[in-house]
Structure 1
């Protein structure tokens, strides 16, 4: 019997995964969590075989949960189940020590295959994710499959100027203020700000602030 803990902030998602898994036989969902901190508490209390964890969650994101599990040497496998296939998320999840990375659009068959592979001590990364891992392996930024990595570049590959802009934007400074502080034109400040928002894939200040905190950009 494979004992599983589900960590996702959406109840409907957890209900769907639980129904799918327990319909298979040999798999039981022993507990659930709606945020990262709760996930760590649940794991400590129940000691499951596998944690299935989403990335974007309140309190603590899934990547940090995986990192803490591995840092604390908890005897639990981790399978990231996410809607995100961006390179930043994938590389950080692997660096944190995830045993598998699967997209929420995966088929039922692939999901069960991934779960069993990870439960048996193997690694499982869906096709698109494997391509990203291989690319980084070739570039020397991560070691594929083994879970042992060398440091990767700053998340989202922000330039020095973009980091300065990010810091000032989060201080609620407008483009005119930013231009004066960095001694650049207002138009240049606007361009940097636009590029920053585009790189981080955010649409407003709140999203920018949340993502900056999530990835330790400030």
Structure 2
């Protein structure tokens, strides 16, 4: 039976021992190394080439997020599971951004870590229940914020046309010709748009319109 090679990185010996015991209850998994710091993790990863790295975020030298970013920049397909006491949205989001495939909060059950190990070794992503709750909460906040912005900014059909033409780079005269209105009317619409969307120039106007998906 071919065994999957596991590297464990945590600065606390008790945590490393606990993870090691959990891992080695599975006959197809083997712990090939243990690291106590960020730099040591990088060295052992390069030397041992594990199938999976289980790592804490808070470590000496270099934290787990920076280690993950460094490893994944060189090895985009690397399998990393973060095992951390932090369920902070910023930590989880950054790990996702870097390409980390798994995230488990330490106060959860050992079965969560086992699910994460199995899932990631199969090429899937696995974020434990607590981590998923944080991600969902952030997503819900973003949706609510966007909806609020859209409700606060009510544009007429003509104003939306003007925004899109500004984004296309047309001058006021060109917009007037396109819409069969006067340049002065175009300028009036432009001024109203700036006021409604709380922006100072065309660049900010277009960026705000993009954020509100008005340029589709």
Residue in 1 that maps onto 2:84: 82
Distance in 2, matches of 1:6 and 1:44, equals 14
Distance in 2, matches of 1:3 and 1:127, equals 26
Matched residue SS, 1:71:
helix
Pairwise mapping of residues 113-192 of structure 1 onto structure 2 (< 5 A)? 113-138=115-140
Kindly indicate whether the alpha-carbon contact (under 8 Å) linking 1:64 and 1:96 is maintained by their aligned counterparts in 2: no
Deviations 1:123-163 (A, max 9, x none): 0001121122234445669xxxxxxxxxxxxxxxxxxxxxx
Unpaired runs of 5+ in structure 1?
142-218
Pairwise mapping of residues 59-70 of structure 1 onto structure 2 (< 5 A)? 59-70=61-72
Residue in 2 that maps onto 1:197: none
Kindly indicate whether the alpha-carbon contact (under 8 Å) linking 1:51 and 1:78 is maintained by their aligned counterparts in 2: yes
Q: Greater helix share, 1 or 2?
A: 2
Matched, 1:15 2:22: no
Distance in 2, matches of 1:65 and 1:97, equals 12
Return the TM-score normalized by structure 2.
0.61
Matched residue SS, 1:114:
helix
Pairwise mapping of residues 39-54 of structure 1 onto structure 2 (< 5 A)? 39-54=41-56
Deviations 1:60-96 (A, max 9, x none): 0000111111111254200000011111211122122
Distance in 2, matches of 1:128 and 1:108, equals 13
Kindly indicate whether the alpha-carbon contact (under 8 Å) linking 1:47 and 1:75 is maintained by their aligned counterparts in 2: no
Shift of 1:13: 0.9
Residue in 2 that maps onto 1:146: none
Return the TM-score normalized by structure 1.
0.61
The 1:140/1:72 distance shift into structure 2, 3 A limit, reads farther
Unpaired runs of 5+ in structure 2?
144-216
Residue in 2 that maps onto 1:99: 101
Kindly report structure 1 stretches of 4+ aligned residues shifted beyond 6 Å.
Answer: none
Higher gyration radius (CA): 2
Shift of 1:106: 2.0
Matched residue SS, 2:123:
coil
Residue in 2 that maps onto 1:4: 6
Distance in 2, matches of 1:72 and 1:140, equals 32
Kindly indicate whether the alpha-carbon contact (under 8 Å) linking 1:79 and 1:101 is maintained by their aligned counterparts in 2: yes
